[in-house]
Amino acid sequence: MSTENLHSQEAVDKLKEMVDKIDIGMMCTPVEGTGHVHAVPMSRQEVDEAGNIWYLFSAESETHRNLLRNNKLSLLYADVGNYNFLSINGTGEISRDRDRIEKYWNKMVEAWFENGIEDARIRILKVIPSEAHYWDNKTNKLVTFFKVVASAASGAKLDIGREGDLDLS
């Protein structure tokens, strides 16, 4: 696997491409006093032009409670079928931005809030990435498997993908 660190707009574009492709990631927030994290699958609403990732979530969730105490979080994305992975560390900002709630509202979100778009529990979460690392397979899983086998058998170094840091500043 080759290393390809990306910077500025290239890094933001890569982050957006991967998050949009994978969609559901595990959001990990620190659980106070335990040294452990609370992990929950979350579907993003948008990755904006700056690389911020937006979510709708509930004020009654453990994620919300954890973020009120400590706004540091991690997002872990995995597309195991294609060997693509993304790890993001950042901070979360919680709001009740009505315009964003309306922008992101859809039938899937409606299933989580029984009182509809007027549900008082709806919150907006803006994740501001501070660092990210990716593993991106250049081909599909089957081709990668054969490249790994061929590389092991022949001793030749075949390029099976790339990994790198995403410098989003």
pLDDT per residue of the chain (169 residues) written in tens, 0 to 9: 789 999 999 999 999 999 999 999 999 999 999 999 999 999 999 999 999 999 999 999 999 999 999 999 999 999 988 889 999 999 999 999 999 999 999 998 999 999 999 999 999 999 999 999 999 987 555 444 544 444 555 565 555 688 999 998 7
Alpha helices in the chain (DSSP H): 8-22, 62-69, 98-104, 107-110, 141-154
Whether domain 2-167 has CATH 3.30.70.260: no
Q: Which amino acid is at 66?
A: N
pTM of the model: 0.86
Domain boundaries, the chain: 2-167
Angle formed at CA 143 by CA 142 and CA 148, multiple of 5 degrees: 100
